[in-house]
Structures are given as C-alpha cells and as structure tokens.
Amino acid sequence: MKNKFNQSQLLVLIFFIFLSTMQVKAEKFNDSAALAGISQVKSVFLIDFTNPQKTALYLDIIRGTHKGLMRQNVKSEMVLVFIGKTVQYLSTEPDDELAMRHESDLASIQHSIKEFAKLGVRMEVCAIATRVFNVKNNSIPTEMNLVGDGFISLIGWQTQDYKLVPIF
C-alpha cells in the first residue's frame, strides 16, 4: 500500500512539473514579428454562432487575445458585434430548455461579458437578431449596447479602420 501511495505522489509531481513546463513554454511565445512597430490595434469581431458552447469558448479565446496584446505592450481597441442566434445566449433570461441544457456555458458567457466590460471592450447586439430570435431587449446585459443592425455596425467599424477578425 505504501508503495502505491509513493507512485501516486510521483505521478502527481510529474504532472505538476509537466504543467509548469507547459506554462513556461507558452510564456515564451510572442507575436513580435506581426506586431513590429505597432503600439495600438483596432479590431472588430462578428460573432454569429449557433450554439452556446462554441460562443463561450470563443469569448474566452477573444479575451485571451485582448490580454495577449496588452501583455505585448499593444493597446487594443476591440469591438464585438453579436448577430444571429447568438443573441439568445446573451440574454439574462434564456428560455428554460436552453438554461437547463447549457447552464455552465451560459454562465461562462455572462462572466465573459462582465470581463470584457472591465477591459473596456465595446459589445454590440443586433436588434434585428433580438427581434427574429424573440429575445427581450431588456434582458440583454447592461454592459452591452443594442444597435439597430449588426451589419451596419460592422460596416461602420471597418470604415473607421477597425480590422475584421474572421471567426467561424
């Protein structure tokens, strides 16, 4: 029994060494070639997913992108434009079936919205989509901005030199 306990301890130690090695390697990565001479970027993301799990995942990834830019001393002006079915996952009052089936993903999305607000990221929600997908506009988190048409918003941001980041 004692021998098994020692093997378990060894496996745990190896696991933590592996994790710390992975973290050190990840921290060595940088984007210096792409960011050479750049001190500020302006980006716009069109977010149009058909499931809450993918929405939650990509919001985490986008938040990591924002933090990665900041870590590399690049100021990030970021806008997220939400259209389509995705607006259902933003609501603070999702329908019962959605809430039951995707509770943790919806909670992650709400957390991301609050974190983006803290980072100063502008978030826009298409009112056409809220109407089409029967989402009450007053159920959209207050950190988000309701806009008339997500496509018009996207066109406007791109005309103002915000670079479209394609995600799908």
In the prediction, which pLDDT does 166 show? 86
Please tell me the distance from the alpha carbon of residue 166 to that of residue 168, in angstroms, as a whole number: 7
Please tell me the distance from the alpha carbon of residue 76 to that of residue 70, in angstroms, as a whole number: 7
Across the chain, mean pLDDT equals 89
Q: Are residues 15 and 44 in the same domain?
A: no
Q: Are residues 82 and 107 in the same domain?
A: yes
Q: What CATH number does the domain containing 102 carry? A: 3.40.1260.10
Number of other CB atoms surrounding residue 122 within 10 Å: 17
Q: Are residues 64 and 122 in the same domain?
A: yes
CB 76 within 8 A of CB 66: yes
CB 102 within 8 A of CB 52: yes
Q: Are residues 11 and 81 in the same domain?
A: no
- Sequence-ordered list of residues with C-beta below 8 angstroms from that of 126, at least 6 positions apart, any chain: 81, 82, 83, 84, 87, 147, 148, 149, 150, 151, 153
The answer to the question of residue 119 being in a domain is yes
Q: Are residues 72 and 5 in the same domain?
A: no
The answer to the question of residue 161 being in a domain is yes
Q: Are residues 15 and 48 in the same domain?
A: no
Q: Are residues 75 and 14 in the same domain?
A: no
Q: How confident is the model at residue 1 (pLDDT cuts 50, 70, 90)?
A: very low
In the prediction, which pLDDT does 50 show? 95
- 61-101 residue pLDDT tens: 999 999 999 999 999 999 999 999 999 999 999 999 999 99
Q: Are residues 79 and 47 in the same domain?
A: yes
The answer to the question of residue 35 being in a domain is no
Helix, strand, or coil (residue 23): helix
Q: Are residues 70 and 113 in the same domain?
A: yes
| Total domains in the fold of the chain | 2
Side chain identity at residue 74, one-letter code:
V
Which domain range does residue 11 map to? 1-30
